[in-house]
């Protein structure tokens, strides 16, 4: 199997780069598998505290590989369900995994590519990039990313984007809360690294893990259950070494070395 992504580690940042530029970094089962394997490796590597997702070429990701989708039409329902479950597992792994994932978006993020951006914790984009879920235009549905998009921007805007399949600018994507920031192209990777290093230096890894887990769990709980769950997280966190270290360092006016 050809390498469809590249991975490197530097200054506790784990870089995962889509390197299928000739195919506009389109997603197929091999790309999803390699992304999943890279994430698992980064999550399990103690030398990595924050993950940064990048892509080569002019397009961040154009979504599903249409030739691959055409091949899937000969699959059984069970085979297509297994393939869809693989993508769902990848999106959940990014969304709820134990380490922060920062996306540096250097070009258009469309359909499944926009799905990748949707599930990242922090997204920075160049001004020229367009975002959208265009599946409806080819008779498909953005089914898996819908689960996450509704959580992120609310049902009103999610319905508009997914029913119309329209593309929006990076500035509009910031306005509706889909991404975090628009930065000039020549500053994108520098500012993405700065964001990652800030998380590395100023945020407890255990706190980041717990916060991401809570985002994944709280939304579907009734109010009383959500508050009970949150109270348990508060109580458990107070007993962790990170919390004890953080409070002691703060009271002693010492710099916390995370």
DSSP-assigned states of every residue in 183-238: --GGGHHHHHHHHHHHHHHHS-HHHHHHHHHHHHHHTTS-HHHHHHHHHHHHHHHH
Residue 57 in any domain: the answer is yes
Same structural domain for residues 94 and 29? yes
Check if 135 is active-site: yes
Same structural domain for residues 192 and 237? no
In the block, which residue shows the tokens 């000039």?
Answer: 184
In the block, which residue shows the tokens 């819908």?
Answer: 146
Residue 10 in any domain: the answer is yes
Count of Cβ atoms closer than 10 Å to residue 70 Cβ? 9
| Of 173, 200, 227, the domain-final residue | 200
| Mean pLDDT score, 215-219 | 91
Residue 257 in any domain: the answer is no
Upper half-sphere CA count for residue 30 (Cβ side, 13 Å): 12
Same structural domain for residues 35 and 149? yes
Residue 47: pLDDT band by 50, 70, 90 thresholds?
very high
The pLDDT mean for the chain works out to 95
Options 56, 58, 78, 135, the catalytic residue: 135
CB 17 within 8 A of CB 5: yes
Same structural domain for residues 125 and 230? no
CA distance 71 to 224: 47
Same structural domain for residues 36 and 145? yes
CATH number, domain of 41, equals: 3.90.226.10
CB 24 within 8 A of CB 65: no
| Mean pLDDT score, 137-164 | 96
Residue 185 in any domain: the answer is yes
Same structural domain for residues 182 and 218? no
| Of 167, 183, 200, the domain-final residue | 200
Residue 181, pLDDT > 80, answer: yes
Residue 43, pLDDT > 90, answer: yes
| Of 185, 200, 215, the domain-final residue | 200
Residue 258 in any domain: the answer is no
% of residues, the chain, pLDDT over 70: 100
CA distance 10 to 35: 18
| E strand spans, 77-213 | 100-105, 108-110, 122-125, 130-132, 168-169, 181-182
Residue 65: pLDDT band by 50, 70, 90 thresholds?
confident
Residue 220: pLDDT band by 50, 70, 90 thresholds?
confident
Residue 65 CB partners (closer than 8 Å, separation 6+): 23, 26, 27, 28, 31
CA distance 6 to 174: 28
Helix (H) or strand (E) holding 8: strand 5-10
Count of Cβ atoms closer than 10 Å to residue 49 Cβ? 22
Residue 75: pLDDT band by 50, 70, 90 thresholds?
confident
Same structural domain for residues 78 and 156? yes
Residue 103 in any domain: the answer is yes
Same structural domain for residues 144 and 209? no
Domain extent at residue 33: 5-200
Residue 115 in any domain: the answer is yes
Same structural domain for residues 82 and 167? yes
CA distance 31 to 45: 21
β-pairing verdict for 50-55 and 122-125: unpaired
β-pairing verdict for 50-55 and 13-18: parallel
Residue 256 in any domain: the answer is no
% of residues, the chain, pLDDT over 90: 88
Same structural domain for residues 192 and 235? no
Same structural domain for residues 149 and 104? yes
Note the pTM of the prediction, 2 decimals: 0.94
Number of structural domains in the chain: 2
**pLDDT for the residue numbered 48:** 98
CB 62 within 8 A of CB 24: yes
Phi, then psi, of 46 in degrees rounded to 5: -70, -15
Same structural domain for residues 131 and 173? yes
């Amino acid at each position: 199997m050809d390498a469809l992504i590249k991975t490197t580690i530097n200054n506790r940042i784990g870089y995962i780069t889509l390197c299928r530029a000739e195919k506009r970094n389109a997603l197929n089962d091999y790309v999803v598998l390699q992304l999943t394997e890279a994430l698992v490796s980064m999550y399990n590597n103690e030398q990595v505290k924050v993950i940064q997702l990048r892509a080569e070429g002019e397009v961040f990701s154009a979504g599903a590989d249409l030739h691959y989708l055409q091949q899937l039409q000969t699959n059984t329902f069970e085979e297509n369900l297994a393939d869809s479950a693989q993508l769902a597992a990848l999106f959940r792994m990014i969304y709820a995994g134990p380490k922060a994932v920062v996306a540096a978006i250097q070009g258009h993020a469309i359909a499944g590519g926009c799905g990748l951006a949707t599930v990242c914790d922090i997204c920075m984009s160049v001004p020229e990039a367009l975002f959208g879920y265009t599946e409806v235009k080819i008779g498909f549905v953005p089914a898996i990313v819908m689960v996450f998009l509704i959580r992120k921007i609310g049902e009103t805007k999610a319905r508009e984007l997914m029913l119309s399949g329209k593309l929006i600018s990076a500035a509009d994507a910031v306005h509706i809360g889909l991404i975090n920031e628009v930065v000039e192209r020549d500053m994108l990777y520098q500012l993405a690294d700065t964001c990652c290093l800030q998380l590395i230096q100023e945020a407890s890894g255990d706190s980041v893990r717990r916060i991401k887990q809570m985002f994944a769990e709280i939304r579907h709980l009734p109010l009383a259950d959500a508050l009970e769950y949150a109270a348990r997280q508060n109580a458990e966190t107070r007993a962790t070494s990170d919390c004890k270290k953080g409070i002691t360092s703060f009271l002693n006016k010492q710099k916390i070395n995370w």
